[in-house]
Amino acid sequence: MLLSGSQILIECLKEQGVDTIFGYPGGSVLNIYDELYQHPEIRHILTSHEQGASHAADGYARSTGRVGVCLATSGPGATNLVTGIATAYMDSVPMVAITGNVPTPLLGKDSFQEVDIAGITMPITKHSFIVKDIEKLADTIRRAFEIAQEGRPGPVLVDITKDVTAAKTDYERTAPKLISRVTNTITEHDIETAVKMIGKAKKPMIFVGGGAVISNAEQELREFVEKVDAPVTDTLMGKGAFSGDSEYYTGMLGMHGTKTANLSVTECDLLIVVGARFSDRVTGNASKFAKKAKILQIDIDRAEINKNIVVDHCVVGDVKAVLDILNRKIEKQYHKEWIEHVMAKKDAMPVKYPKDRLTGQFVIEKIYELTGGDAIITTEVGQHQMWASQFYKYKKPRTFLTSGGLGTMGYGLGASIGAKVANPDKMVFNIAGDGCFRMNMNEIATAVRYQIPIIQVVCNNGVLGMVRQWQTLFYGKRYSHTVLEDKVDFVKLAEAMGAKAYRITTMEETEAVLKEAMALNEPVVIDCMIHCDDKVWPMVAPGAAIEEVFSEEDLESKK
């Protein structure tokens, strides 16, 4: 069958089961968009900015496990995807970013809207392709989807010159390659050693990261926790892999982790790390991390072993597969005294916030109460992100979507659109600060255009909250360029873009507004006016060990 490059691209996307593309047209992709016009079976969401398209593809992927797809033109269109591609790379999100480029004869001549996007994205993708020969187009698209999904997932870029989208060649439909779990790296010796370590432990602790979510290991993890009989902590990326309302759960680990989790990891004699990479925000001072414990790491990526923390033993392979084997090998363990000891800490050291006025924590708790923990929560980055991790209990994987590794302000709104498009029956909230909301708030217009009923909650404190918190604690209250002294009215702004909007100033108003927003089934912005000095507690100071975690009360007592 003789097809143009644009037709071959669309057919290859259909081969891969792609039902949605997030993008923005331009000269170098006009042939692709012209062909897309003929294929209503692939829904195209025109975002307000290419960065919004990349984050929407990311949110689609994180919430489903399927590959997210975004599309942009050459030059500035392509470079506008870069932040979203890097975000997906840091958090191992399967995504295929397709860009157009100038015709092949114009490459390397500083042509209009020419940029080497394959070269630019090489460090932030699993692979970057540039297609200059139509004979290679179909196989490149297929290979891009394979690479995005196989092993540790991540983004892949495919740059296609405009002449390739117009040229013609034969096309033959091919079924997608079956992506297998990585099990060939799992050895009997590694499993037996892990079983022995677990059997000897008196005070084990299980530390869960994003790998457990990515591998869909929820069921195996729950069985593993019950068999090992150990308390559980997690990372931002790991939330929902193990239920936040479980009796074993101690809260998040690290800089803004709970005292219970941080102190228990410091005290345990075996730390079992399930799909986590020991981010610096988790470990604090790496030389002092979990010094009393043997460390057993389970991870699909051998490059993560001994990279940030030297471990005593590892099992390299797909988390779901490894846990399944371990569950069949290990005998039921009993650590009643250790668990009671840890949970006594949890009862004695809860995460608290002011109850005499409207706060971001209160709003997030109220969202949890009204949704029963059954919503998808996306966030931007900062104080509100930490509050969303602390005060909403994630019971299922793929329900908390946030930029963990790159820390991308402006991520959440696009991600919420992608998540809602992929999960139309789920309630989707994006939690933002006012500083983050400004980054990509134009995507409210996208939600309105397509009537995508996301609920945008803005924790509006008039400052860049997390940076200001650091300035308060570590920079002598010198608030250098963190006070947002302007008169932007988010309610009027949202209404101008066609969304329904509310402003909340008191605790008493909150429930009624949230209930009304949830019932509307249309895009809503809720501007929540909170105090500029509200902080995220507890906290570990930069460079400190995680056991040096302190609360506001600890700080006051030192004074």
Q: For residue range 81-115, what is the model confidence (pLDDT) as tens digits?
A: 999 999 999 999 999 999 999 999 999 999 999 99
Instruction: Look at residue 306 and tell me if it is in a domain.
Output: yes
Task: Tell me: do 373 and 290 sit in the same domain.
Answer: no
Instruction: Look at residue 91 and tell me if it is in a domain.
Output: yes
Task: Tell me: do 276 and 420 sit in the same domain.
Answer: no
Determine the pLDDT at residue 452.
98
- What is the CATH classification number for the domain harbouring 94? 3.40.50.970
Task: Of 255, 266, 315, 332, give the one whose Cα is nearest residue 293.
Answer: 266
Determine the pLDDT at residue 423.
98
Active-site residue identified among 162, 345, 346, 500: 162
Kindly list the distances between the CA atom of residue 437 and the CA atoms of 170, 411, 450, 525, 542, in Å, as whole numbers in the listed order.
47, 9, 20, 11, 26
Count the Cβ atoms, other than its own, within 10 Å of residue 114: 18
Instruction: Look at residue 180 and tell me if it is in a domain.
Output: no
Per the annotation, the verdict on 95 as an active-site residue is: no
Domain extent at residue 283? 188-348
Q: Do you know the residue count of the chain?
A: 559
Active-site residue identified among 7, 22, 35, 50: 50
pLDDT tens track for 124-161: 999 999 999 999 999 999 999 999 999 999 999 999 99
Active-site residue identified among 112, 177, 247, 474: 112
Task: Tell me: do 314 and 385 sit in the same domain.
Answer: no
Buried residues in 392-428 as b, exposed as e (16+ CB within 10 A):
bbbbbbbbbbbbbbbbbbbbbbbbbbbbbbbbeeebb
What H or E segment, with its residue span, contains residue 297?
strand 294-299
Task: Tell me: do 481 and 400 sit in the same domain.
Answer: yes
Task: Tell me: do 401 and 319 sit in the same domain.
Answer: no
Which residue ranges in the chain fall short of pLDDT 70? Answer: none
Active-site residue identified among 409, 466, 497, 539: 466
Decide if 430 contacts 455 (C-beta within 8 A). yes
Cα atoms in the Cβ-side hemisphere of radius 13 Å centred on 11: 18
Count the Cβ atoms, other than its own, within 10 Å of residue 363: 27
Residues 6+ apart with CB under 8 A from 135: 169
Task: Tell me: do 333 and 426 sit in the same domain.
Answer: no
Task: Tell me: do 45 and 126 sit in the same domain.
Answer: yes
Instruction: Look at residue 548 and tell me if it is in a domain.
Output: no
Instruction: Look at residue 22 and tell me if it is in a domain.
Output: yes
Task: Tell me: do 404 and 343 sit in the same domain.
Answer: no
Residues 6+ apart with CB under 8 A from 176: 15, 16, 17, 142, 145
The Cα 340–Cα 242 span in angstroms is 19
Per the annotation, the verdict on 162 as an active-site residue is: yes
Determine the pLDDT at residue 537.
98
Kindly list the distances between the CA atom of residue 500 and the CA atoms of 378, 413, 445, 497, in Å, as whole numbers in the listed order.
19, 16, 12, 9
Task: Tell me: do 511 and 414 sit in the same domain.
Answer: yes
Task: Tell me: do 80 and 206 sit in the same domain.
Answer: no
The Cα 175–Cα 326 span in angstroms is 34
**Domain's final residue, options 348, 370, 397:** 348
Instruction: Look at residue 547 and tell me if it is in a domain.
Output: no
Determine the pLDDT at residue 459.
98
Task: Tell me: do 281 and 306 sit in the same domain.
Answer: yes
Per the annotation, the verdict on 207 as an active-site residue is: no
Task: Of 56, 291, 16, 368, give the one whose Cα is nearest residue 175.
Answer: 16
End-to-end CA distance of the chain: 78
- What is the CATH classification number for the domain harbouring 195? 3.40.50.1220
Task: Tell me: do 125 and 267 sit in the same domain.
Answer: no
Q: Whole-prediction pTM value?
A: 0.97
Count the Cβ atoms, other than its own, within 10 Å of residue 330: 17
Domain count, the chain: 3
Instruction: Look at residue 559 and tell me if it is in a domain.
Output: no
Q: Largest Cα–Cα distance of the chain, in whole Å?
A: 78
